[in-house]
Chains A and B, each alone.
Chain A
Amino acid sequence: MSAAAQREARRTEALDSFRVRGMPHRRFEHWRYSDLRAVLDAGQVAQAGTAKWNIEHLPEGVELFDLSVQDAPEWVMKTLGHVGNRRTMVEASLAFSEGGVALRVPKGKHIAEPIKLEIGGQGNLRWLIVLEQGASATVFEPHAHDAGYLRNVGVEITLAEGAELQHVRCAPLAPRSFTVELMALELAKHAKYYGHFANFGSRLSRTEAHIVLGGEGAEAHLSGVAVLGHEAHSDVTTHIEHAAGKTLSTQLFKHVAGGKSRAVYQGKITVRDGASGSDSRQTARALLMSPRAEADLKPELIIFNDDVKCAHGATVGDLDPESLFYLRSRGIPEKDARRLLINAFLEEAVDVIGNDTLKETIWHDIEAALPRAMEAAK
């Protein structure tokens, strides 16, 4: 069978699978807080078309394949539609997108310059990246705020032995949009993934990462911030599977919710039988800036092995009045004092980003989003 025919067959499967299961809703596992079916129907997803991607400048040494070309090379064929489990929205993005992009960094290559992958427009989209053995790269994934009505992105990431990927996803303010991005990652021995997910508010945003630490010593380090106002809804859902020994995962999410916004974090960690000596740490904190804002933080731990370390914590609170008073008593106006404390709250989750330019970009967006998040509900 030709590559094109194989892709078509896989696409038909995806289409059927989505048709049978339909849109995720409250009674789907892990969609409790973000009822997609209540706001979108399957027909809208099917007819949304294909979203846009753009790489202005491709750093030297990175291979790129445009997914709108049907006759794909083997490395694409092995990956596209084959990483992770077949969640319904993932199948939808495969079934309904006419394009997308695949990237590959060959064995041992270190790409210092971030690959800037811009995503915009309305519709479904797929992108994938393959890092071969010992390769390293940084992907910066800024989303345009022109998402229109709906954007559904499916992402596949495979990291071969010793490969290292840094990934910074930044979703700006898009108050009228529904944006869904589901990522599936597979990490081999000693591979490392550093993911940062920043969200500044849309009508409903779901960022989901399913990570399988499949090789010994593989590591996933997730961090993220959400700065939300008005009626924004941001849902970050992660599932990390420790499937091999000595694997490590850390998570640090900090969310600020003002107005009538809602910040959701669900973090599931599964430690498989064979994952002796693995270590997982998980922290999620939310700061509520208004009585009508809401945060739901749900860490979840499933362990099939006794020889593991796990630590998790989740807290929801508001700004500490004593700190606020201290700063104001030193002459700092209330608004500035609040800003200072919010920045202080977010600091450690931004600080872990390993690239200074990207760190600054995120701070810049935080500054822009703060006034909205600091408003109380009207």
Chain B
Amino acid sequence: MLEIKDLHVSVDGKKILKGLNLKVETGKVHAIMGPNGSGKSTLSYVLAGRDGYEVTGGSIVYNGEDLLKMKTEERAAKGIFLAMQYPVEIPGVTTMMFLKSALNAQKRARGEPELDAMGMLKLVRAKAKDLQVSEEMLKRALNVGFSGGEKKRLEILQMSLFEPKMAILDETDSGLDIDALKLVAEGVNTLRAPDRSMLVITHYQRLLDFIVPDRVHVLAGGQIVKEGGKELALELEEKGYADVVKVPA
């Protein structure tokens, strides 16, 4: 599905990813853990194609294609989805109208028929219910005045609407209370599919109790420094990063 080789990334001239290697298998859930500032969000932005993240070396191959050659919106249409650590508030754009524009833009790019307003409304309503996203929220401006948890739920709602092939969840668990965490995890779990991969970035074992990963990778100092099965997450939780991994300088 996704193969990252020797990736080097700088932001504003500062080297952040320094030779990162990572392989994500089709249909698997991979978790990435790592200390603050190690480059987890940077990795997620590079995958989604954010401007200002300069790739100075290495490659990313996504389903046999060079991901780095694709525009941000092209990546989305081809199935890359990033649930952001800090979803952006956009006043003046209603949530519902945003969802419709985004889904139809992806469909258009793939040559699929677009949904009309009614079809869209039905689809969104059905999905919103499971994630307890209210009608009222859908009418409001995108993320404006949403609580931290509401923003995260809306990210997952988008994920279930867009049905991506490669979903990256950047600290989707942060800011969620226990009930919301379960709700979100359930949402994510129902999306697990043989043709869908996930990259779950988190600091906490707690999320991984609900979304059980196939592989766990530790990102530190801009590299993947350790990999293992789901038990690695438990080990990290018990001992902390310092004891488990040697952080490269």
**Is A331 a contact partner of B73 (Cβ separation < 8 A)?**
yes
* Distance in angstroms between the alpha carbons of A347 and B142 in the assembled complex: 14
**Is A332 a contact partner of B92 (Cβ separation < 8 A)?**
no
Known: A325-B50, A326-B84. A332 touches B105 (CB 8 A): yes
* Distance in angstroms between the alpha carbons of A43 and B4 in the assembled complex: 72
Q: Does B72 contact A (CB under 8 A)?
A: yes
Question: Quick one: closest A residue to B104, CB to CB?
Answer: A331
Residues of chain B at the chain A interface (Cβ within 8 Å):
48-52, 71-73, 75-77, 81-82, 84, 87-88, 90-93, 98, 101-103, 105-106, 109, 158, 162
A319-347 interface code vs B (CB 8 A; 1 in, 0 out): 01111011111111110110011011111
* Distance in angstroms between the alpha carbons of A205 and B208 in the assembled complex: 62
25 contacts between A and B (CB under 8 A): A320-B88, A323-B88, A325-B72, A326-B88, A327-B98, A328-B73, A328-B76, A329-B73, A330-B98, A330-B105, A330-B158, A331-B103, A331-B162, A332-B101, A333-B73, A334-B71, A334-B72, A334-B73, A336-B101, A336-B105, A337-B73, A340-B93, A340-B98, A343-B92, A344-B92
**Is B93 a contact partner of A329 (Cβ separation < 8 A)?**
no
Residues of B within 8 A of A333 (CB): 73, 105, 109
**Is A329 a contact partner of B101 (Cβ separation < 8 A)?**
no
A154-168 interface code vs B (CB 8 A; 1 in, 0 out): 000000000000000
Q: Does A146 contact B (CB under 8 A)?
A: no
Question: Quick one: closest A residue to B102, CB to CB?
Answer: A330
* Least CB distance, B139 to chain A, in whole angstroms: 14
**Is B90 a contact partner of A323 (Cβ separation < 8 A)?**
yes
Which among B73, B81, B84, B103 has the highest number of chain A CB atoms within 10 Å? Answer: B73
Residues of chain A at the chain B interface (Cβ within 8 Å):
320-323, 325-334, 336-337, 340-341, 343-348
* Distance in angstroms between the alpha carbons of A340 and B98 in the assembled complex: 9
Known: A326-B87, A340-B93, A344-B91. A331 touches B51 (CB 8 A): no
Q: Is the interface of A mostly helix, strand, loop or mixed?
A: helix
Known: A331-B76, A332-B102. A326 touches B90 (CB 8 A): yes
**Is A348 a contact partner of B73 (Cβ separation < 8 A)?**
no
* Distance in angstroms between the alpha carbons of A330 and B48 in the assembled complex: 9
Please pick, from A323, A327, A329, A347, the residue contacting B50 in the complex, using a CB distance under 8 A: A329
Residues of A within 8 A of B88 (CB): 320, 322-323, 325-326
* Distance in angstroms between the alpha carbons of A37 and B122 in the assembled complex: 60
* Distance in angstroms between the alpha carbons of A148 and B101 in the assembled complex: 40
Q: With A323-B88, A327-B90, A330-B105 given, can you name 4 additional A-B contacts, CB distance below 8 Å? A: A325-B48, A328-B76, A329-B49, A344-B92
Known: A325-B50, A325-B51, A326-B84. A331 touches B92 (CB 8 A): no
Residues of A within 8 A of B72 (CB): 325, 328-329, 334
* Least CB distance, A336 to chain B, in whole angstroms: 7
* Distance in angstroms between the alpha carbons of A17 and B12 in the assembled complex: 60
Please list the 4 inter-chain residue pairs (A to B) with the smallest Cβ-Cβ separation, ordered nearest first: A344-B92, A331-B76, A331-B106, A330-B102
**Is A344 a contact partner of B73 (Cβ separation < 8 A)?**
no
Please pick, from B77, B84, B91, the residue contacting A331 in the complex, using a CB distance under 8 A: B77
**Is A330 a contact partner of B162 (Cβ separation < 8 A)?**
yes
Please pick, from A329, A341, A348, the residue contacting B82 in the complex, using a CB distance under 8 A: A329
* Least CB distance, B143 to chain A, in whole angstroms: 9
* Least CB distance, A334 to chain B, in whole angstroms: 7
* Least CB distance, B144 to chain A, in whole angstroms: 10
Which among A323, A329, A348 has the highest number of chain B CB atoms within 10 Å? Answer: A329
* Least CB distance, B156 to chain A, in whole angstroms: 14
Residues of A within 8 A of B102 (CB): 327, 330-332
Please pick, from B81, B92, B109, the residue contacting A347 in the complex, using a CB distance under 8 A: B92
* Least CB distance, B134 to chain A, in whole angstroms: 21
Residues of B within 8 A of A320 (CB): 88
* Distance in angstroms between the alpha carbons of A133 and B75 in the assembled complex: 62
Please pick, from A326, A327, A331, the residue contacting B109 in the complex, using a CB distance under 8 A: A331
**Is B162 a contact partner of A321 (Cβ separation < 8 A)?**
no
* Distance in angstroms between the alpha carbons of A331 and B159 in the assembled complex: 12
Residues of B within 8 A of A331 (CB): 73, 76-77, 102-103, 105-106, 109, 162
Residues of B within 8 A of A334 (CB): 71-73
* Distance in angstroms between the alpha carbons of A221 and B168 in the assembled complex: 47
**Is B92 a contact partner of A329 (Cβ separation < 8 A)?**
no
Residues of B within 8 A of A340 (CB): 93, 98, 101
* Distance in angstroms between the alpha carbons of A334 and B46 in the assembled complex: 17
* Least CB distance, B211 to chain A, in whole angstroms: 21
* Least CB distance, B123 to chain A, in whole angstroms: 15
* Distance in angstroms between the alpha carbons of A358 and B52 in the assembled complex: 42
Residues of A within 8 A of B48 (CB): 325, 329
Question: Quick one: closest A residue to B97, CB to CB?
Answer: A340
Please pick, from A321, A337, A346, the residue contacting B51 in the complex, using a CB distance under 8 A: A321
